[in-house]
Amino acid sequence: MKKIFTSSVLSLFLAGTLAISCGKDKPLTSESNVSSTSKSGKVFVLDTADSRIEWKGFKVVKTDNTSHFGTIKFKSGELTVNEGKLESGTFTADMNSLTSVDLKDDAEQLEKLNGHLKSGDFFEVEKFPNATFEITKVTDNTTGSDYNTLLDGNLTIKGITKPVQFNANVSVNDGEVSIATEPKDIKREDFGVKFQMPVENGVIKDEVNLQISIKAQEKK
């Protein structure tokens, strides 16, 4: 039987995604997390069928490291584009959609893992059904990175908001915006996800890896 550990993400999201009500922590008051949207900007609507948050969590045991990976779906989202460049955006992720992809062929273990991740030990989705990510600052990446853009924003999970920065490839073409972020480690304990197994069973790492993929179409 496959061994299971429990760790994950979003907000992605993601949301991302990702401003939620009942926030315990407030975003820092700085230019990087106060969004600025021009009146002349065009609005793009998130394609929820072609957008997602991918997560990966890790367990360290004496003999080796194991992991689970999966997805979270978005409920909604909007982007603003001004003069052909991304300006801001807000996304809401459905935490009830959180699932493990690596266990998709083992229904019993998949149900156990998903249930635990959605419980009070982890993301408490009955109380916090949404995660949000708000893009507050968009900067061209001039560091020679493989990613052309830096996205600053506010990530909210379990009602706790923290500033987060993603490297991303962003394109605006023919009425469509595409965003693909670099995989990034998020500390789950920063968002109140502090469950840990008995030491003899291994240690669940604090870091959860998130990657956000966005497609949005110009609002007609």
pLDDT in tens, the chain (220 residues): 444 433 333 333 333 333 333 344 444 433 445 555 665 789 999 999 999 999 999 877 655 667 889 999 999 999 999 999 999 999 999 999 999 999 999 999 999 999 989 998 889 999 999 999 999 999 999 887 899 999 999 999 999 999 999 999 999 998 999 999 999 999 999 998 887 665 566 678 888 999 999 999 999 8
103 located within any domain:
yes
Spatial distance between the Cα atoms of 2 and 90, rounded to a whole number of angstroms: 38
Domain membership flag for residue 28: no
pLDDT of the residue at 219: 92
The alpha-helical segments, DSSP class H, found in 92-163 are 107-118
**Which residue range forms the structural domain that includes residue 100?**
43-218
Q: Can you give the pLDDT at residue 41?
A: 86
Question: 159 in a domain, yes or no?
Answer: yes
Establish if 27 belongs to a structural domain. Answer: no
- The pLDDT of residue 39 is 58
Q: For residue 10, tell me if it sits in a domain.
A: no
In a domain? residue 196: yes
180 within a domain of the structure (yes/no):
yes
Going by DSSP bridges, is the β-strand pair 176-181/184-187 parallel, antiparallel, or unpaired?
A: unpaired
Asked if residue 50 lies in contact with residue 41, where contact means CB atoms within 8 angstroms, the answer is no
pLDDT of amino acid 75: 97
> What pLDDT was estimated at residue 197?
62
**Residue 144 belongs to a domain with what CATH number?**
2.40.128.110
SS3 content of the chain, % helix, strand, coil (to 5): 10, 50, 40
What are the phi and psi torsion angles at 69 (to 5°)? -140, 155
Quote the pLDDT of residue 203: 73
pLDDT given at position 64: 61
pTM: 0.79
Residue 163: partners with Cβ closer than 8 Å, 6 or more residues away? 27, 28, 30, 32, 33, 152, 153, 154, 155
User: Is 192 among the domain residues?
Assistant: yes
